[in-house]
Amino acid sequence: MTITAGLLLLFVFFLLLFLGVPIAISIAGASLVTMLVLFPFDIAVFTAAQKMVAGLDSFSLLAIPFFILSGVIMNNGGIAIRLINFAKVLSGRMPGSLAHTNVVGNMLFGSISGSSVAAAAAIGGVMSPLQKKEGYNPAYSAAVNIASAPTGLLIPPSGLLIVYSLVSGGTSIAALFIAGYIPGILWGLATMVVAYVIAKKKNYPIAPKITFSQVMKVFLDAIPSLLLVFIVIGGIIAGVFTATEGAAIAVAYSLILSMFYRTFKIKDVPKMLMETVEMTAIIMLLIAASTILSLVMAFTGIPEAISSGILSLTDNPILILLLMNVILLIIGTFMDITPAVLIFTPIFLPIATNIGMDPVHFGIMMCLNLCIGSITPPVGSALFVGSSVGKVKIEQLVKPLLPFYAAIIVVLLLVTYIPQVSMVLPGLFGL
């Protein structure tokens, strides 16, 4: 009976997805249909409703709307141009300097806004016209912007890592945050290496020299924006406040900063709050629906069956991790990051811990892997936004993106097979 129910769950879920039903509704609908087969109607409906409410009854989840609101305020607060100016200084005078500025800008802005889409739109929207004016190929410029946009999902503060912490059973958010730095920076550096090679080959221009006084002016102008990360992450790591309290502080700081830059307008508040509510509602509905799915999967034994199936193929940890990565890469091409984390963490985390992998290490590997899906067709959100901002068709981006994909996969393999890449910083901070 449980095997039949498990097959029914998968069939209904993929059928609903194929029919174009939103993924949260697909998850909840497939789970409820399966529960109706397993239990009487009243018990199934009552249990499903109870699980959905219980799944959202978590103090840690309050961090998500606060971080989203902070990012929305930052997006509307004139932060992007200051970070771009700072990125120009950091990226130096290399061939294709504007492309490197785009990458560094995405890393900085993405970590503050917590969104790959926001980074691709805000930074790409400023950099694309500048690069076009300097004679850059539009497809190359768009590819650089798209390839580096997800770095901010790994570099904290990251709402994605908070979701993983919840679904993994309470993995330390502070440890996940600090563990994301090196992989996120490696991703950015990998895209810069590819951008450099192509820029050198195409003979793209080098940025003009700037004086020390100009450097100091840009640095001082960017300090208030950069302080947000130091205050929030530093406070969480030092144990001064929790991730949720840190998120609330981020909102307050963002408001103060927007007022300091004189970009805050009272008339924009309803729009910013509505955007925050919409984004939060989507994530919360996904989390609520996933709690029913977790219950049904546990009852039908799907995670154990998949785990046994993978372990029956091989007991070699290298091959097991490779197999998990391949599956997650495929999943990421047609499923958004958050639902993929909610669905596949309960399936793959037991396998990872069974071969001795730390939950923090696995979380970073999984999130990095699924972030690649945000820049790959057919449903990559950052891919479509970057294409729109750069005014380049998707089909024109496939070839320019291939070397960037290769570099990012190398970073994924480094993170997967060298635990120290993720775990050295948490270890240094005693997390």
On whether both 37 and 128 belong to a single domain, the answer is: no
Note whether residue 139 is domain-resident: yes
Note whether residue 274 is domain-resident: no
Note whether residue 271 is domain-resident: no
| Structure tokens that stand for 75 in this block | 């997006």
According to the model, what pLDDT value does residue 368 have? 93
Q: How far apart are CA 221 and CA 120, in angstroms?
A: 22
On whether both 29 and 105 belong to a single domain, the answer is: no
On whether both 226 and 343 belong to a single domain, the answer is: yes
Tokens 């909840």 identify what position?
A: 28
* Alpha helix stretches (DSSP H) within 61-172: 63-75, 79-91, 97-113, 116-133, 138-148, 151-154, 159-167
Q: How many independent structural domains does the chain possess? A: 2
On whether both 86 and 229 belong to a single domain, the answer is: yes
On whether both 201 and 72 belong to a single domain, the answer is: yes
On whether both 71 and 51 belong to a single domain, the answer is: no
- Name the DSSP class of 92: -
Q: How far apart are CA 305 and CA 302, in angstroms?
A: 5
Note whether residue 403 is domain-resident: yes
Total-model pTM: 0.80
Q: How far apart are CA 397 and CA 95, in angstroms?
A: 21
The domain of 72 spans 58-264+301-429
What is the residue-wise DSSP string for 7-56? HHHHHHHHHHHHTT--HHHHHHHHHHHHHHHHS-HHHHHHHHHHHHHHHH
According to the model, what pLDDT value does residue 78 have? 66
Note whether residue 275 is domain-resident: no
On whether both 142 and 218 belong to a single domain, the answer is: yes
According to the model, what pLDDT value does residue 416 have? 94
- Is residue 242 within 8 Å of 42, Cβ to Cβ? no
On whether both 241 and 316 belong to a single domain, the answer is: yes
Q: How far is CA 179 from CA 201, 249, 399, 420, in A?
A: 35, 22, 32, 10
On whether both 153 and 246 belong to a single domain, the answer is: yes
On whether both 17 and 69 belong to a single domain, the answer is: no
398, amino acid identity: V
On whether both 75 and 96 belong to a single domain, the answer is: yes
Render each residue's pLDDT in the chain as its tens digit; 431 residues. 566 777 788 788 888 878 888 878 888 888 888 888 888 888 888 888 888 887 777 777 777 788 778 777 776 666 767 777 777 777 666 777 888 888 888 887 777 766 777 777 777 777 788 778 778 888 888 898 889 888 888 888 777 888 888 888 888 888 898 998 999 999 999 999 998 898 888 887 776 777 777 778 878 877 877 787 778 777 877 778 777 788 888 888 888 888 777 777 778 788 888 888 887 887 788 878 878 887 787 777 777 777 777 777 888 889 999 999 998 888 888 777 878 888 888 889 888 998 889 999 999 999 999 989 888 876 677 788 788 878 888 778 888 889 999 999 999 999 999 999 999 998 888 77
Note whether residue 193 is domain-resident: yes
On whether both 288 and 310 belong to a single domain, the answer is: no
